[in-house]
Amino acid sequence: MSYTPIHFSEDDRIFQAQIRLFAEREVAPIADEIDHEDRFPDEVIPKFGDMGLLQWSVPEAYGGPEGSLTKLCIAREELARYSLSLSVMVGENGNGMALPLLFAGTEAQKQKYFPILAKGRTLVAFALSEPEAGSDAAALRTRAVRDGDDWLINGSKIFVTCGPVADYVLVLARTNDAPRAKGVSAFIVDTTLPGVTRGSKNKKMGYNGATPNCDFFFEDVRVSADAMVGGDGEGFTIAMKCMEFNRPAMSASAVGVAQGALDQAIAFAKGREQFGKAIAEFQGLQFMMADIAMQIEAARALLYEVTARYDLGDMDGYGGLSAMVKTLCSDAAMKATTDAVQILGGYGYMKEFPVERMMRDAKVTQIFEGTNQIQRMLIARELLK
């Protein structure tokens, strides 16, 4: 049981039904396998592209679907009921190029890159984190220096989601000596350029398969002046706008994982018998499932309130709200998946059962897009203005 937000339009409801069917047919059958094998599912890229999921934020004028944040979150939630990694892959593609271009790109850049993205076959990554720049993202050390009309990029990035398979990567680099964030700029980098090297694929607890991570190394990587998105020193602002947009999307993935875990727990509890009756009849487990359901619905309600505000252009307090929803949804996902494993007992600890994977996957939702401790700091900052 899950409830559709009452303010969803008829178009939203139709899209939800379509993406739910797509997830059941294309995602559910491969979800366990791509996690266990840590295999990137190349075969789904054309299918995701044909659904418009890899080019979601590309405007219609350039051949894209120009989808709303609400519909993006609907897609992310439905996909994550079966696979967090395939759900997150959808958002990473927008975060790496489409959103930065929407926020700060020139018309020439949009004419160059949007038609490529609109085909739904191009994969993009977002490279911000560094060994010394995690939560303190403005402390990055990668540098880009002028060389005639070009820029030369030197440095390294860590934990780049979809890095091993990306065709392009948005690189945040320091371009001037202004303090901290004011000295950071953003560049679109073709991953086939000389001097771009990828490290080996990171070995992770969960979140495997469709979202492989790796480190990047840049040695005298030459890019033209038009590779810079926004002006000199505007990169950090662009990155933060992308993250604020993406926090509800990440939250939707977290809600999807939580809902998927609850679905699994309910089905198991109805079919598993102990002491002569289904374990679903035991009040202790009923209370656990009820608590999970309440937390999911509370998280879902805030999620789609935030997306509705964004789609209407109501940005008053949006930064604080996006931090709230990211924290609430990811904490709910961690609690839901942990309790789902408990409901399944020993079976929940076995890799043959999806809740084992879901619990490992849920943890990362409390970490990426800013840890939940950072989110709470942002919420408090908004409250104390």
Closest CA to 52 of 134, 117, 127: 117
- Residue labelled with tokens 């309600």: 301
Burial bucket for residue 66 (CB in 10 Å: 0-12, 13-18, 19+): middle
Burial bucket for residue 154 (CB in 10 Å: 0-12, 13-18, 19+): middle
**Phi, then psi, of 336 in degrees rounded to 5:** -65, -45
- Do the beta carbons of residue 222 and residue 193 sit within 8 Å? yes
To which H or E segment does residue 219 belong?
strand 213-224
Judge whether 297 counts as a catalytic residue: no
Closest CA to 137 of 147, 126, 145, 148: 126
**Phi, then psi, of 149 in degrees rounded to 5:** -90, 0
- Rounded-to-integer distance, Cα 256 and Cα 236, Å: 30
- Rounded-to-integer distance, Cα 237 and Cα 230, Å: 10
β partners of residue 127: 171
- Do the beta carbons of residue 64 and residue 57 sit within 8 Å? yes
Helix (H, G, I), strand (E, B) or coil at 186: strand
Of residues 66, 356, 369, 382, which has the active-site annotation?
369
Amino acid identity at 365: T
- Rounded-to-integer distance, Cα 19 and Cα 41, Å: 18
Contacting residues for 163 by C-beta, under 8 A, at least 6 apart: 125, 127, 169, 198, 212, 213, 214, 215, 216
**Phi, then psi, of 130 in degrees rounded to 5:** -135, 170
- Measured in residues, the chain has a length of 385
- The residues assigned a catalytic role are 369
